[in-house]
Amino acid sequence: MQSPFTLPPTGFGPGSQSTDEALEYIALPSGMRTYVPHTPEIDDLDSAAPALAVLDQIAQACDLVAREGGRVQIALDTLAPPARKLLAETLGHGEVSMKLRGVPAVAVQESVFTGVWVLQGAGVDLVEIGPVPELAIARAHQPHRASTPDAPRAPGVVNAPALLAELSDKSETYRSGAEIHVVNLTLLPHTPEDLDHMAMVMGEGAVTILSRGYGNCRITAAAMPHLWRVQFFNSSDTLILDTWEVTQMPEVAIAGREDMADSAERIREVRRAMA
């Protein structure tokens, strides 16, 4: 007699599954941005000379930061409008943009040259060369919406208290250069009420970042120190990865030294083609 343990389970095997409907998967990010050199046309070399000089400065700064670290700022407010327009056209728009709340509010746009950031606001018009703008780190956790550690728990809050205890401990004990601590909400059981409660307790900081590569990555600083909400969306704007990170700045927004060395060479290539 055949043992029942060797019999195939009912409902499995060839012909047991419908072939009428195709399996549906969440669409993965697509359409990655790549560097495309752009060489603006120059009608008047004399009026363009200040912009070309700034490009030379930026290339030198990229080499310096790639070699020694740190950051370099170059003021743009002295450029005449034609030169400023030419520089803006040459730098273009890269993958990362930032909104820095505060006084003054500052908009940050990475150029097509990685690690070259353009900062603009009331009384602010400059280029900063570095891993990430210094002001983004300085303002990150200044409260835009204050944290409320004693916020009451609404019905439906289940796992938020445990997650908050973990993140609060890591936030308080974080030291510069420490390893990133990540809580992956995508892999953990939670309710919508959990997410609402966590957002209320952690508050919101002054910095919001959007990184466009494969799909979009949206990064929001919490009002608690060193704490960031990092969310990845595919090209259909469907959330595919939802995390909290305890770190000085999420890596997805940071330009590496190798990137800045590449930027120096790319800027010089464009510069040689311009004049």
CA distances for 172 relative to 76, 107, 176, 201, angstroms: 38, 29, 12, 15
Q: What is the mean pLDDT of the chain?
A: 88
Question: Which of these ranges, 134-138, 150-154, 256-260, has the smallest mean pLDDT?
Answer: 150-154
pLDDT at 140: 98
Other beta carbons less than 10 A from residue 163's beta carbon = 19
Question: Alpha-carbon distance 26 to 20, whole Å?
Answer: 19
3-state secondary structure of 228: strand
74 close to 109: Cβ distance less than 8 angstroms: no
What does the pLDDT look like over 221-231, one tens digit per residue? 999 999 999 99
What does the pLDDT look like over 158-197, one tens digit per residue? 999 999 999 999 999 999 889 999 999 999 999 999 999 9
The model's pTM is 0.83
Two tokens, residue 97: 């943009």
CA distances for 225 relative to 42, 97, 100, 200, 202, angstroms: 47, 21, 16, 15, 10
Look at residues 215, 210, 213, 253 and name the one whose alpha carbon lies nearest to residue 237: 215
Domains of the chain from N-terminus onward: 45-131+255-274 (3.30.1370.140), 139-253 (3.30.1370.140)
Can you name the residues that pair with 211 across neighbouring β-strands?
96, 217
pLDDT at 127: 98
61 close to 72: Cβ distance less than 8 angstroms: yes
The one-letter amino acid code at 275 reads A
